[in-house]
Amino acid sequence: MAYTIVRNLNNNVALATDDNQKDFIIFGKGIVYGKKSGEKVNEEDVVECYFLSRKDFSYFSEIMKTMDPMIVYVTDLIIKEIKDTIGGTFSANLLLMIADHINFAIERLNEGIAMKSPLENEIRRLYDKEVEVAKKALDIVEQELGVRLPVEEEAMIAMHIVNSHVGGEMLDDAMMVTEISNTIIDVITQQTGRTLDMKSNDMSRLLIHLRFFILKYSKNELANDGEFDGLYNFLITKNPESAQCVKVIVKTLNEKYGWSVTENDMIYLMLHINRLLQKKEG
């Protein structure tokens, strides 16, 4: 079997189709060097490949509009590290999620915005293997891209790894997570008057964050992480619509569940909601 090149990302990575016209991201040292769209790559030359479902292909097409293709190559190196350390098999979705996260982290670094996940303590306590791989991921990013991401990114990358193979211990909480997530989405819809695209990538990011956020508060596993030195007040001024959504969400969660949401968590919710609201209505 051979792969047909659709688009070269760099000399080592390409978007390609197989003989059945299924989409893949293929990797291999120099496999597409000097090759053009429509040319073939032999299967034996491909070191790694990821099948792209229709949803993954849509996600891939969107993030590649603004992403350096080298980040995809670097993420494959990180996936190899995950496999070596943790084991298991991983779909293209994890590759795309981590690549997207690294791209966003570099953007935030360039803008001088340093973020710490409000879930960091919980992630570090429960998922030490994933955090250890995430530490190595930052080393790989630095080696290949010449950018040293903040240590806070370890927990956030680890969260993506956990999410890719999450199972047993969270299944019992699925109904609660669904109910409260829906409540939060309803607040955003009511406060903004917008019809939100539930299939968008920004919505997916928000829902992933909400899953961990809800479990953290439902289990009362809170930590005193300090404040972000005025970032909360800055974001309120800069993003009043997102800030109002968060204000109502916090009030709702307090009234329904007795939760007292921390300022750190409000900041992170605001960032996710603001990213969601920046998209035009579909």
Question: Measuring CA to CA, how many Å separate 35 from each of 44, 45, 63, 153?
Answer: 16, 14, 23, 36
Cβ neighbours for 90, distance < 8 A, ≥ 6 positions apart: 79, 82, 83, 164, 165
Task: Decide: 13 and 69 in contact? Cβ < 8 Å.
Answer: yes
Range 206-224 average pLDDT = 81
Query: What pLDDT is attached to residue 38?
Result: 95
**pLDDT band at residue 24 under the 50/70/90 scheme:** very high
Q: Is it the case that residue 242 has pLDDT exceeding 90?
A: yes
Q: What pLDDT, on the 0 to 100 scale, is given for residue 126?
A: 64
pLDDT of residue 73: 95
Which carries the bigger pLDDT value, residue 214 or residue 177? 214
pLDDT at position 231: 83
Query: What would the pLDDT profile of 33-86 be if each residue is shown by its tens digit?
Result: 999 999 999 999 999 999 999 989 998 998 998 899 999 999 999 999 999 998
User: What is d(CA 83, CA 89) in angstroms, rounded to the nearest whole number?
Assistant: 7
Determine the pLDDT at residue 135: 97
Residue 279 has pLDDT above 70, yes or no: no
- Per CATH, 54-165 and 168-277 having the same topology is answered yes
pLDDT digits (tens, 9 = 90+) for 8-21: 999 999 999 999 99
CATH number of 1-51: 2.30.24.10
pLDDT of residue 86: 87
**Segment 162-201, tens digit of pLDDT:** 777 654 344 345 567 778 988 999 999 999 999 888 878 8
Q: Mean pLDDT over all residues of the chain?
A: 87
Kindly list the domain boundaries of the chain, sorted by start residue. Answer: 1-51, 54-165, 168-277
Is residue 150 pLDDT above 90, yes or no? yes
Measured between alpha carbons, how far is 182 from 158 in angstroms, rounded to an integer?
A: 25
Q: What angle do CA 93, 274, 280 make, to 5 degrees?
A: 80
Identify which has the larger pLDDT, 225 or 190.
Answer: 190
- Mean pLDDT (whole number) for 21-30: 94
Is the pLDDT at 161 greater than 80, yes or no? yes
Q: How confident is the model at residue 215 (pLDDT cuts 50, 70, 90)?
A: confident
Q: Which CATH number fits domain 54-165: 1.10.645.10, 1.10.1790.10, 2.60.40.1840, 1.20.1250.20?
A: 1.10.1790.10
Q: What's the CATH number for 168-277?
A: 1.10.1790.10
